Structure 1
C-alpha cells in the first residue's frame, strides 16, 4: 500500500512539474509586489478555527460566518516577517468577539510585526470598545475611522439572579457545594451576589483591567493614571481619541494609501519634470512618449501601495509545489469545547471524547496528542472518565493540554491528565471544587393542584424525585457524597501536578484564577499562545521545533456546521436573561451526579457595546 501510494505521488508530482515554472515565476513577481500586506479581523477570535465539515463546499450560500483563526494568523505573520520586500502590514480591526485570553494572544501576534521592524498600521473603521482598543494598541500606528466612536467606560460583569422568580413559581433548589468559592449555581439559590463571588469577580476584573491599562499606557507612552481616566470615559469620538493620545490620526479607508507611501524623491525632481514637459523644443513624438512614461509611472506607484492579502505570505515563503513522498509525523488535535456531558455528540461529551482518545491511542500514525480545552466543566462522572482515558493515552504517547478562554472546574479536571498544561496569561482556570443541587417542585405541584402518590420499599427510594425535598438525614448523606467527590478531585489534581494533597486543597476550594496566577501556583506549566503547546509536544515527540508536523482531528458523526449568527436583539435577550446558562444548569442540576462547573457568564468581562451606526 505504501509503495502504491508513493508511485501515485510520483506520477502526480510529474504533472505538477509541468506547472512548476509558471508558479515559480508568479511567486517571484508577487514577492516583489508584496511590499504591503493587509488583514481584516472581524468576528469571534478563536485559538482554533471552527470545524466546518461540509460547509466549505457551500460557500456563498447564506450569511458569512466571520472568525479570526489565531493559529492560521500566526503562520501568516511568521511568513510575512521572512519576506524581505515587505515594508508593513495594514490591520483592519472590525468589531471582535471572544474572551480576553484570545484577545491577548491576538495582540501578541500583532506585536511580532512591530518587533520585526516592519510598520504595522491598525485601522479602526468603526471605532470599537475595550477589546478593539486593547488589540489595536499593539500596532505602531493607530488610525481611527472618520465619524467613528470609541465606546469605553471600563469592564463589567453582570449576573441575573433567579431565586425570587423560582420561589414565586413554587420551585425550591437546595445546593450542596465544596467549598465556599464554588458559586456556579448561586444565581438560582440566592437573591444577591455572595461575598466570595464578589471577591473573586473583582480580582478577575481588576487583573484584566490592569492589563489593558498597562498595555495602552506603554504602547501610547502615556501615564497609567491618565489612561485610567481616559478609559473611564464612556464615549469618545475619533478626534477626541487622537487629541488624548489613544490614536495617531483620523482617516477614511481610502486614505490609508497615503500613509503607506514613503516617497523619497530628490529636491529637484518636480522642477526637472516640469522643465521637460514645458520644453518648447519637444516634438509631438517626444511628448507622446513622455505621456506614456508618466502613465506607466503612475500605475507602478499605485500597484506599489496596493496591499496584498496577508494570507498569501505562507504560499510565498514555503510553497508546496509537490506532494511529499513521505508522510509527515502526525499530531492528533482533540477539542473539549462547551459543557462536559455524559452522553450525546457535543464537543465535550464523554461518548465523543472516548472515541477520539481511543482512536488516537490505537493509531500507529499518530505520534502525539494536543488536548485543547475551552470548557467551564460539567458532569463530575464524565470528567473523571475522560481524565481516565487521557491517562491511558499518556501511557503510550506524549499528551499536552492547552487551555483556551476558560478551562475551569471539570475543564481543569480533564486537562490535568496531560503531561503538561499550557495557557494564556488571562485564561480563566482553577475552580477546583464540586457542587450539586436537589430541585423540588412540591410547592409548584400544590399550586397546580397536583398530587403525587408513591409506593416504595425504602424511605429514600425516591431520593432524587422532584416531587419532594430531602429530609435532614438525606441532606447529610448528600453532603458526604459531595465531600467524597471533592476529595477525589483534589487528589487527582495533586497526583497530576506532583504536589501534596494539602497544598492543592489550599489552592482549591472552588477559587478561579487567571492563567498567570495559576502558573505562579503550579497549576499550569507554561504561558503563551497555542503554538507554544505545539512546540513542546513536538519536542516530546523527538522532533525539531522547525520540523513540520501534520495535524489531524477525529472524524465527527453527522453533518455539522456552525449556525449563522442570530440577530443582535436575540443575542442581547439571551444574554440578559442568562438563558444559555439556565439551560446548562437545569440539565446538570437534574442529573444524579455531582457537578464540576464554573459560571460561564464571567468568561467575558467587558462591555459588548459597539457602534451600530
Structure 2
C-alpha cells in the first residue's frame, strides 16, 4: 500500500512540475508577445474614420467598425513622442470621412510628435476616388512625407457646403410644416419650409466655408512650403493625377504600400518592427497617476431627455440629459476630482434636456471644480447651450458652433391622411387640447402661444450666454440670431476662449487646479463604463443616479435618412422647443 501512495505522490509532483513549466513558458511567451521592440514604427490606420468614443455596450463590443477614438490617437502620439522604443510613425490615411475640426485635432498631435525629432510618414492609395479628398489630404500634410499609389489621385476641388431641403417632398405628400424660429439665421427650420437657401442662410453658409478654407489653405501651404496665394489658385485646377501632384510638390513619392514599408525599413534599419495603435495602447497600459483626478465627460449626439442611448449596429449616439447630469453629479461628489473636462460633440436637440445639463455645469463651478469644455467637430445650438457657462471653452478653428436660437412647431399631416383615405374624429374638453396634434393646424391662439414660447426660450438662451460668457446682453443678442460660426470666428467674438483640443483642455485643467503642465494626473471617465460582466451580472441600481448614469443600447435610433424623417413627421409634435443646428455637409 505504501508503494501505491508513493507512486501517486510522484505522479502529483511530476504533474505540478510540468504545470509550472507550461505556465512559465506561457508567461514568457506572453511577455515576449507584449514586448515593444527597441526599434518600432507605430502604425495608425485612419481608413475607417474617427469617432469621439466607442460605446461600451455589450453588442457594440462585437459590432465595432474599427474606428479610431480621437483621444486614443492624441494620447498615444503624446506618449510615443517620449517613448525611446518608438522611432517613428506611419499612417494609412484612407478616404475618411473626416470633419475639418477632427483633422485639426489629429494634425496638431502629429506636429507635436514630429517636434520630438521622430519622423512621421503618411501613405494613401488615393486621396479621393470619385469623391473629394480634401480632408484626407489635409490630415496627410501634417506628416513629414506623403506617399501615394501611382494610380491614385489627389481630389483637391475646393470646399463645398450642401444642405438638404424637404419642402418639395412635403408638398407632394400634402404635409404642412407649421414651424417658426428665432431668429433669421436659425436654418434648421428652412429644410422643411424652403426649397433653397434664404438670403441669410446662404450668407451664413458662405461665411462658414470661407472661414474653413482660410485655415485649410494656410495650414497646407505652410506644411508643404508653398505660398498660400499660389496654393489657393492651384486648387482651382484640381483634381490632380498622382503624377501631377508629385510635379506640383503636393506629395513626395509615388509608391505602393510594400515600397513605402521597405523604404522605411531601409531608413530605420533591418530590425525595424511595426506595431499598430491598438496593440501599442494595450502594451503601454493606462498610466495610474496618483493625486488629483480630472474627470472626463463625453457629451455626444443629439440632446434628449432621458438616458443616453447608442445604436449598437451603427454606433450612432444620443446624449441623454439624465445620463450626463448624473455624470456631473458623480464628478462633483467625487472628492478626488479637482476639475472636469466636458467634451461636447453635438448639434443640439431638446431645450429642456439642454437646460438640465446646463444646470449641472453651473453646480460644478459652484462646487469649486473648474469646468473646461473641449468642443469636437460640432457644438452648436443645444451643444453650445450646455457649454456656455464653462470656465473655459476650447474649440478647433473649424469646429461648427454658435447657432444661439430656437426652432419649434409641428407637421400637419391631415392632407396626407386624406389622400390615403384615413380620417379622424375627436372629442375634447378644451380647444387647446389639439395644440400638439399633428392632424390639425394651429388655431390663432395656439400659434400666438408658440410665438411666446419661442420668445421666452430665445431670451433664456441669450441671457444665459451673456452671463456665462461675460457679455453685455446687447452684444449677446447681436451675436445670437441663430447664426452658426466656426471656432476661429467664435474666438474673435467671445464665444470661445482659445483654440485647441484635448491636450489644451487637460493642460488648462491642470493649471486651474494649481498643477504644472508636466505633472501627471489621473483621467477618470464619467459616467463609469460598465464592464462586460457588469452588463450581464451587475446588481440593480441603488438610486436614481445609479440608474440614469449608464448608456442604453437601443436599435430604435437607426437613421433611415429621408424616409425616416417623413415617417417621423406623421406623428410629429417633436419640434417643440428644439435648440437644433442644421448641420450642413461640408466637404
TM-score (norm 2): 0.81
Once the 2 structures are TM-superposed, how far is the Cα of residue 409 of structure 1 from its aligned partner? 0.6
Match of 1:553 in 2: 526
Counterparts of 1:90 and 1:139, CA distance in 2 = 9
Structure-2 change in CA distance of 1:87 and 1:481 (3 Å): closer
Pairwise mapping of residues 341-490 of structure 1 onto structure 2 (< 5 A)?
341-346=304-309, 347-396=318-367, 397-490=369-462
Residue of structure 2 equivalent to 1:296:
none
Judge conservation of contact 1:442–1:468 (CA < 8 Å) in 2: yes
Superposition deviation, residue 592 in structure 1:
7.2
**3-state SS in 1 of match to 2:462:** helix
Alignment of 1:71 onto 2:71: yes
| RMSD between superposed Cα atoms in Å | 3.4
User: In 1, distance between residues paired with 2:554 and 2:66?
Assistant: 11
Query: How many pairs were matched up?
Result: 528
- Give yes or no for the alignment of 1:195 onto 2:168: no
> Are 1:597 and 2:560 an aligned pair?
no
What do the CA deviations read for 1:107-163 (whole angstroms, capped 9, x no partner)?
Answer: 111222333333222111334411111111112211112322223322222222211
Matched, 1:33 2:39: yes
Distance 1:521 1:583 in 2: 40
| Alpha-carbon spacing, 1:314–1:496, altered in 2? closer, same or farther (3 Å) | same
Contact 2:331 2:337 in 1 (8 A): yes
Distance 1:525 1:583, change over 3 A: farther
Contact persistence 1:330–1:552 (CA under 8 A): no
Alignment partners' CA distance in 2, 1:584 and 1:370: 35
Q: 2:147 aligns with which of 136, 143, 150?
A: 143
Q: How far has the Cα of 1:500 moved from its partner?
A: 1.3
CA distance, structure 2, for counterparts of residue 206 and residue 76 of structure 1: 33
Q: CA deviation at 1:313?
A: 6.8
Question: What is the CA–CA distance in structure 2 between the aligned matches of 1:383 and 1:529, rounded to whole Å?
Answer: 22
Q: 1:246 to 1:349 in 2, by over 3 A?
A: same
Of stretches 405-414 and 389-398 in structure 1, the one that deviates more from structure 2 is 389-398
CA distance 1:406–1:301, change in 2 (3 Å): closer
Aligned to 1:256: 260
Q: Which runs of 5+ in 1 are unaligned?
A: 1-17, 264-299, 565-569, 607-613
Q: Is the 8 A contact 2:246 2:254 kept in 1?
A: yes
More displaced stretch, 192-201 vs 76-85: 76-85
Matched, 1:221 2:231: no
Q: Is the 8 A contact 2:125 2:256 kept in 1?
A: yes
Q: 1:245 to 1:449 in 2, by over 3 A?
A: same
CA contact (8 A) 2:179 2:410 kept: yes
- Report the equivalent of 2:8: none
Q: How far apart are 1:28 and its partner, in Å?
A: 13
**Separation in structure 2 between the aligned mates of residue 495 and residue 584 of structure 1, nearest angstrom:** 36
Quick one: structure 1 residues 171 and 219, their matched pair in 2 at CA, closer, same or farther if it must change by over 3 Å? Answer: same
Cα separation, 2, equivalents of 1:394 and 1:400: 10
Superposition pairs for residues 123-272 of structure 1, below 5 Å?
A: 123-128=123-128, 129-233=133-237, 235-260=239-264
Match in the other structure for 2:483: 511
What CA distance in whole angstroms lies between the structure 2 residues aligned with 1:173 and 1:57? 40
Cα pair 1:369 1:399 within 8 Å, conserved:
yes
Identify which range, 67-76 or 191-200, moves more after superposition: 67-76
SS state at 2:55 partner: coil
Question: Could you tell me whether the CA contact under 8 Å between 1:79 and 1:314 is conserved in 2?
Answer: no
Residues 87 and 338 (structure 1 numbering): CA distance in 2 closer, same or farther, change over 3 Å?
Answer: closer
Larger radius of gyration: 1
Could you tell me which residue of structure 2 aligns to residue 302 of structure 1? 270
Deviates more, 1:424-433 or 1:64-73: 64-73
The runs of 5 or more residues in structure 2 that have no matched partner are 1-23, 310-317, 537-550
The answer to which of 449-458 and 411-420 deviates more is 449-458
Q: CA deviation at 1:301?
A: 5.0
Cα shift readout 1:466-490 (whole Å, capped 9, x = no counterpart)? 2221233432332122111111110
Aligned-residue offset at 1:418: 2.1
